[in-house]
Amino acid sequence: MRSGGHARRRAIGGIVALALVAAALAIPPAVASPYPPLPIADDRGFLGNLSAPTLAPGASGAISFSVGDPLPDALADAELLFEVYAFNGFPGNATSNASVAGAPVLSNASASGSSVGFAIGTLASRATVRGTIDVATSAVTPNGAFAVRTSLAFVAGGTSYRLESRGWFSAAEWAAATELPNGSATLNLTVLGVSGVLPETAVVVANSTLPWVLGGVLAGVFVLVGLGAWVYFRRESSSRSGTRSSADDHHAPRAFGTRRTSDGD
């Protein structure tokens, strides 16, 4: 009897152990938490005075900007990233990725390429720093506008944050985060997995054979993009919620507008 009872207990124990293992295997792997959202009203305080040049093929210039800290805590390990990611050619007005011959090259003091960073390090609360990123074209750079997306990563109060511009999200991702089921506009930062949304800009390339009126129009459009394209949601965003909504129309800060002919990365 004792041996039979012992065997039953061992069998039951084995079943329980197998059940626990099966339950553990059924649990999906942990997914990295998104960056915590910041008040939408703070977005405009991080990246401002964003201006990109209009260049002739073979010429060089600079993207200028300012980075601020609108938070009560200082920013640590802060770095701003710029990346050329899309091209809108002229004539034709067709949008494509930026992998065209002679695409502009960005550079800082130590690196160059389609993507470079601007290291800020530590920035005191309410402080602002100005900077530039060099841009160089070649003799074969085609006429048109090269969109430049931005992102900003930093640590504040012991928490890591990341803000990105519209160009980092596909059309489907952006639609899922910015439109409610009833069709009204919103901005759900939790869905996007970022702390906020930044403006982006574009480098315009126009040779001397283009009509000066066209060059002026292109330059003017992207100056407006650089200086004024922001996510301007109502200041009800003073809460820490990841979702903002309003019946008003809202626009994403995107160099080629809120709609594209193809998805992003």
Question: Helix or strand or coil: residue 172?
Answer: helix
**Tens-binned pLDDT, residue by residue, of the chain (265 aa):** 555 555 445 443 443 333 333 333 333 443 345 899 999 889 889 999 999 999 999 999 999 999 999 999 999 999 999 999 999 888 777 678 888 999 999 999 999 999 999 999 999 999 999 999 999 999 999 999 999 999 999 999 999 999 999 999 998 999 999 899 998 988 899 999 999 999 999 999 998 765 555 555 554 444 444 333 334 343 334 333 355 443 333 344 566 655 444 444 4
Is the pTM higher than 0.85? no
For domain 40-246, the CATH architecture is Sandwich (2.60)
pLDDT of res. 5: 54
User: Which tokens is 205 given?
Assistant: 């390339």
List the beta bridge partners of residue 160. 155
Every domain of the chain and the residues it spans? 1-29, 40-246
The whole-angstrom separation of Cα 244 and Cα 189 is 9
115 phi and psi angles, rounded to 5 deg: -140, 125
